[in-house]
Each structure stands twice: as C-alpha cells, then as structure tokens.
C-alpha cells in the first residue's frame, strides 16, 4: 500500500515549498494539484472563456486533457500533449484556476487523476481539498496556514526580488479574495479536515515546518 501525506491550506501558505522539501527527504513523489487546475485555467483563457461563464467552463474543461509526468523528479503538467509547466504561474492563470475550480466538471475530471497517482506511489499531495475529499484516508493530513498579511508579505518579497513592481496592500487584497472564493464554494471547499494537524507558519521557518512533518511521519511508522 502506498503512503499518502495530504497538505491543504490557503494560497501562499508555503505548501509547495514545504511539500517539495518533505518529498525529497522521504523520497516521496510531490503532487501539486493546483498546477492541474492551473492547466485547465490556461486552456480556458486561451479560448477566451470568462470567469463567470460556468456553462462554457464545463464544456471546454472536457476538451482539456491534463496529464502529469515527472522529469528529474520535477512534476510537469501536460495539457493536450503540450508541456505547460512554465506558463501557469501567472496571477491571471491563478485567478482563473480559483474561479473554474468551483465548477463540478472541472473538479470531477481532476479527482480521478489525483487519486490514481496517490494509489500508485508514496505521495505528498498539496491543494485545497486533499485531506477532506481527494484522500480522506491519507496517513497524515496537514492544514498549513499563515496570516493573510504574512502570506502577502512573502509574495511581495518574492516579486520584489524578481524586480517586479508591486504593492503589499494590493497583494493582500488579492489573497483575501482568493481565500474567500476557495473557502466558500459549494463543492470541496478549502477547510481543515477534522483529523488534520494545524500548522500556522506565520512565525516559523520553512525548515521548522518540514521538521514537524517529518516528525509526524516518523511517529506514524
Ligand atoms: O495552489 P494554487 O494557487 O496553484 O491553486 C490554484 C487554484 O486552484 C486555487 O486557488 C484553487 C484551485 N485548487 C482547488 O480548488 N483544489 C485543489 N486541490 C488545488 C487547487
């Protein structure tokens, strides 16, 4: 049987950085489910679909075939045969991913892919509904969060380091809007699973969070 770790939490909590690091230490596969939603969002944007056109989103989503492959241990997202991993990290794609993730057709399409990966391999999978919905029997569930201000601050520093002009208040507003959308949708909203361990990383380093998860793993064995 494969071993599964689920990490859920709001945007910018550090899920992917931490999950990647844990995966490396435990020699697990890291599965970034947000990237799958982003690939479908890219397909919708390319077809000029707008965030509020839910009927069109249902229809077009069925045309977007998403596959996951691994190159040198790094997840690559394939959309209708094209590797789109380098095209999905924009704010525009993130916003569309959050809006289209409300759609039942989009969610059910990705659910099978996510469950199949977790059944086959030891995985650490991050997203919004992994512990509550995708892998309800995961061996360890983490709900990783941080204050909206701190998450905005981290994003602000990241963008500034890349030389991108941005405003902290605006980033914080966008983060709060994304939280609202992800937490208040009807299907599989973002929430802490009853049996998840809550980690608030507002005042923790990446290394501290990684260590805590590795400890949970060691205890569970
Ligand atoms: O983690 P991320 O920012 O790459 O995710 C983009 C959006 O995809 C997120 O705002 C909501 C959606 N998503 C989801 O609904 N369920 C998941 N398991 C992962 C992401």
Instruction: Answer whether 139's CB lies under 8 Å from 195's CB.
Output: no
Q: Ligand 1 pocket test: pick from 33, 34, 175, 190 the residue with the most ligand atoms within 8 Å of its Cβ.
A: 34
What is the position in ligand 1's atom list of the atom closest to the CA of 37?
Answer: 8
User: Could you tell me if 37 and 12 lie in one domain?
Assistant: no
pLDDT at site 125: 98
Single residue among 77, 96, 121 that ends a domain in this structure: 121
Which residues, other chains included, contact 207 with Cβ-Cβ below 8 Å and sequence gap of 6+? none
- CATH classification of the domain holding 115: 3.40.50.300
Chunked into runs of 10 residues, the chain (221 residues) has average pLDDT values of 97 96 98 98 98 97 96 96 97 96 96 97 98 98 98 95 96 96 97 98 97 98 88
User: Could you tell me if 214 and 134 lie in one domain?
Assistant: yes
Ligand 1 contact via 37 beta carbon (within 6 Å): yes
Ligand 1 contact via 100 beta carbon (within 6 Å): no
User: Could you tell me if 191 and 160 lie in one domain?
Assistant: yes
3-state SS string for 1-17: CCCEEEEECCCCCCHHH
User: Could you tell me if 110 and 133 lie in one domain?
Assistant: no
User: Could you tell me if 87 and 192 lie in one domain?
Assistant: no
Single residue among 121, 138, 154 that ends a domain in this structure: 121
User: Could you tell me if 160 and 174 lie in one domain?
Assistant: yes
User: Could you tell me if 143 and 107 lie in one domain?
Assistant: no
Spatial separation of the C-alpha atoms in residues 43 and 189, rounded to whole Å: 23
User: Could you tell me if 45 and 11 lie in one domain?
Assistant: no
User: Could you tell me if 91 and 171 lie in one domain?
Assistant: no
pTM value is 0.97
Ligand 1 contact via 178 beta carbon (within 6 Å): yes
Number of domains in the chain: 2
Range of the domain at 1: 1-28+123-221
User: Could you tell me if 148 and 97 lie in one domain?
Assistant: no
Q: Checking DSSP bridges between strand 82-83 and strand 4-8, what pairing results, if any?
A: unpaired
User: Could you tell me if 127 and 216 lie in one domain?
Assistant: yes
Single residue among 99, 121, 143 that ends a domain in this structure: 121
pLDDT at site 102: 96
pLDDT at site 87: 98
Spatial separation of the C-alpha atoms in residues 217 and 221, rounded to whole Å: 7
User: Could you tell me if 43 and 101 lie in one domain?
Assistant: yes
Ligand 1 contact via 128 beta carbon (within 6 Å): yes
What is the position in ligand 1's atom list of the atom closest to the CA of 102?
Answer: 15
What are the backbone angles phi and psi of residue 198, rounded to the nearest 5°? Answer: -85, 125
| Ligand 1 mean position, distance from CA 184 (Å) | 13
Spatial separation of the C-alpha atoms in residues 4 and 66, rounded to whole Å: 22
Strand order across the 4-8 sheet = 29-32, 123-127, 4-8, 140-145, 197-200
């Amino acid at each position: 049987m494969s071993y599964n770790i689920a990490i859920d939490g709001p945007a910018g909590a550090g899920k992917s950085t931490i999950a990647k690091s844990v995966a490396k230490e435990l020699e697990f596969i890291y599965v970034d489910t947000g990237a799958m939603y982003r690939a479908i969002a890219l397909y919708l944007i390319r077809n000029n679909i707008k965030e509020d056109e839910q009927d069109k989103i249902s229809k077009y989503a069925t045309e977007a075939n998403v596959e996951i492959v691994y190159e040198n241990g790094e997840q690559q997202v394939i959309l209708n045969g094209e590797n789109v991993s380098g095209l999905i990290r924009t704010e525009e794609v993130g916003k569309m991913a959050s809006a289209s993730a409300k759609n039942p057709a989009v969610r059910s399409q990705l659910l099978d892919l996510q469950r199949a990966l977790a059944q086959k391999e030891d995985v650490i999978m991050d997203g919004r509904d992994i512990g509550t919905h995708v892998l309800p029997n995961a061996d360890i569930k983490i709900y990783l969060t941080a204050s909206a201000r701190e998450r905005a601050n981290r994003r602000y520093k990241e963008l500034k380091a890349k030389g991108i002009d941005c405003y902290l208040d605006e980033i914080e507003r966008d983060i709060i809007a994304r939280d609202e959308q992800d937490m208040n949708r009807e299907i599989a909203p973002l929430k802490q699973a009853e049996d998840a361990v809550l980690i608030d990383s507002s005042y923790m380093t990446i290394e501290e969070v990684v260590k805590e998860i590795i400890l949970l793993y060691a205890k569970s064995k």
